[in-house]
Amino acid sequence: MRLPLTLHPANHVLAQCLLLRMALCSDRLDISDKQNNARHKLYKQVRHIADLPVPCSWEVRRQPLHGLEQLTLRSAGDVARMLKTTPHNNNNNNHHHDDDGVADTAALPLPARLIALYAPPVLLRRLPARVHDDVCHDAAVHHATLLARLLAPFGVAVSPTGATRRGSPVATRAEYLVHLTEEATAEVEALGGDAHRSTIESAAAAAVSQRRRRTTSTLKRDGLMIPHARDATSAPLPPPPPSAGGEDGVGGVVRPRQRCCTVDTALASTDVVSGPVSYRLRRALASLMRCGYAVSSTCSFPPTRSQLRERRAICLSVRYDPHLPTHVPPLMCTDARVLRRLQLHRVTLHVCPWYAVAARQLLLTGPVPFAAHVTLQALQRGVDVNMNGIFESGTTRCPAAGSGGGGDVVVHQLLLRGGEEEGDNELLELAGLPRVDPLLRSLYCQLHHL
């Protein structure tokens, strides 16, 4: 081998990504041709890259090239051309020459990128995709650590999800699940008192009346629940028992692991976000902008209460320092050496309540065949999984309306199960499936022909 092993084109991250896409056929391919010969075309591209006689870097190219034709890889020739223009170390940056003897000049960074890396004390407008860098898996892990440290004082927990949790070696963005912990939620709601309860009841009543006007297909788009009779759900539900699943000895706070709710609540397409919880989340997310970590957002930031109810994803442009990955770069940075090494990444935050962490972790992590398989297996055991959480069907008896308390009727109810600590492992156990690591779920789908 004429080239060192670390600089051989076969070890380039693009070649490894193509090999992974070819092997994990259960994942959705981003190639235009999705027919039976897609894997063969991927293999030809990988082999062409491996046969290139030029050295390359294992890192992802930081500065995206200008021009619409260079934003996406369309053929193996584009891959070879990009590998030739990528320097493999700092010493040989000035030794790449064309056939005419003219040195290659890197494209100048856009002004929007320089302003974002400078991090002014105001939130910038939506930045175009071409000014962002690709996010490798190590950088995504560092972002999760940094986000958890910045949001921990507010009682907010962060966990990777999506392709980031599946171990994607390189992606255009990193996805995370952000939620207020159970202890922090109980603390915030306890400060609201009776006014907070009346606000929740009025908001819940308005949401139920609005959802009843929608069609059945719209109500059930987030779940695979078996249809239930309307006469059973229209009966009043008794208040939940004081201790349905266990107690927490810290501070004498009772934390029921099961809660009673209606079918409309279980199949709702929006979240119930109280005023105190919304205020705490807004303060926590606003701290990311004040410290200089987040510099741009695609929507209004921090998100409003209505945006939190509608489950809108929060897309941010954040700064990343490869030399200090777990620290926030300095605000209003003017050091040329620091600006030269800073990167601009895209991060997507999904905000959810604590009791829906396990279900959304499964549904957002994917892949889609694995999530559908787990959902169907859980449904056969009487457990429904949707974006609102994990539910079990059960029955209870309550005094019949208009009977003066003389008779009891059977009412269908849903029991909400909380799985904040275990994540989606508890959900896999409820479905009767073994614990499958997120890195191996695509292989699990391939082995079981899902």
pLDDT tens-place string over residues 222-253: 444 444 444 434 444 444 444 444 444 444 44
Let me know whether 403 and 344 are in one domain.
no
CATH of the domain at 422: 3.30.210.10
Q: In the listed set 352, 384, 418, which residue is the last one of a domain according to the structure? A: 352
Report for 102-111, 202-211, 263-272: range of highest mean pLDDT: 263-272
Is 162 a domain residue? Answer: yes
* Mean model confidence pLDDT for the chain: 72
pLDDT of residue 78: 57
Is pLDDT at 198 greater than 70 in this prediction? no
Is pLDDT at 436 greater than 50 in this prediction? yes
pLDDT of residue 221: 46
Rounded Cα distance between 49 and 443, Å, is 25
Let me know whether 201 and 122 are in one domain.
yes
Q: In the listed set 295, 323, 352, which residue is the last one of a domain according to the structure? A: 352
**pLDDT mean over 212-228:** 45
CATH of the domain at 329: 3.30.460.10
Let me know whether 239 and 324 are in one domain.
no
Is pLDDT at 173 greater than 50 in this prediction? yes
Which tens digit of pLDDT belongs to each residue from 284-332? 999 999 999 999 999 889 999 999 999 999 999 999 999 999 999 999 9
Let me know whether 122 and 260 are in one domain.
no
pLDDT-based confidence at 10, cuts 50/70/90?
Answer: low
pLDDT of residue 63: 47
Between 79 and 174, the more confident residue is: 174
Rounded Cα distance between 25 and 45, Å, is 16
Is 427 a domain residue? Answer: yes
3-state helix/strand/coil string of the chain: CCCCHHHCHHHCHHHHHHHHHHHCCCCCCCCCCCCCCHHHHHHHHHHHHHCCCCCCCCCCCCCCCCCHHHCCCCCHHHHHHHHHCCCCCCCCCCCCECCCCCECCCCCCCHHHHHHHHCCCCCECCCCHHHCCCEEHHHHHHHHHHHHHHHHHHCEEEEEECCCCCCCCEECCEEEEEEECHHHHHHHHHHHHHHHHHHHHHHHHHHHHHHHCCCHHHHCCCCCCCCCCHHHHCCCCCCCCCCCCCCCCHHHCCCCCEEEECHHHHCCCCCCCCHHHHHHHHHHHHHHHHCCCEEEECCCCCCCHHHHHCCCCEEEEEEECCCCCCCCCCCCCCCHHHHHHCEEEEEEEEEECHHHHHHHHHHHHCCHHHHHHHHHHHHHCCEEEECCEEEEEEEEEEECCCCCCCCEEEEEEEEEECCCCCCCHHHHHHCCCCCCCHHHHHHHHHHCCC
**pLDDT mean over 153-182:** 92
Is 120 a domain residue? Answer: yes
pLDDT of residue 92: 43
Is 102 a domain residue? Answer: no
pLDDT of residue 174: 95
pLDDT of residue 139: 93
Let me know whether 61 and 169 are in one domain.
no
Is 101 a domain residue? Answer: no
Let me know whether 256 and 391 are in one domain.
yes
Let me know whether 144 and 114 are in one domain.
yes
Is 308 a domain residue? Answer: yes
pTM, whole model, 2 decimals? 0.64
pLDDT of residue 258: 66
pLDDT of residue 293: 94
Q: In the listed set 352, 378, 402, which residue is the last one of a domain according to the structure? A: 352
Let me know whether 341 and 363 are in one domain.
no
Let me know whether 208 and 317 are in one domain.
yes
Rounded Cα distance between 380 and 145, Å, is 37
Let me know whether 187 and 123 are in one domain.
yes
pLDDT of residue 430: 86
Is pLDDT at 177 greater than 90 in this prediction? yes
Let me know whether 120 and 182 are in one domain.
yes
* Residue range(s) defining the domain that contains residue 439: 226-266+357-447
pLDDT-based confidence at 263, cuts 50/70/90?
Answer: confident
Between 76 and 156, the more confident residue is: 156
What is the count of structural domains for the chain?
Answer: 3
Is 97 a domain residue? Answer: no
Between 75 and 16, the more confident residue is: 16
Let me know whether 205 and 66 are in one domain.
no
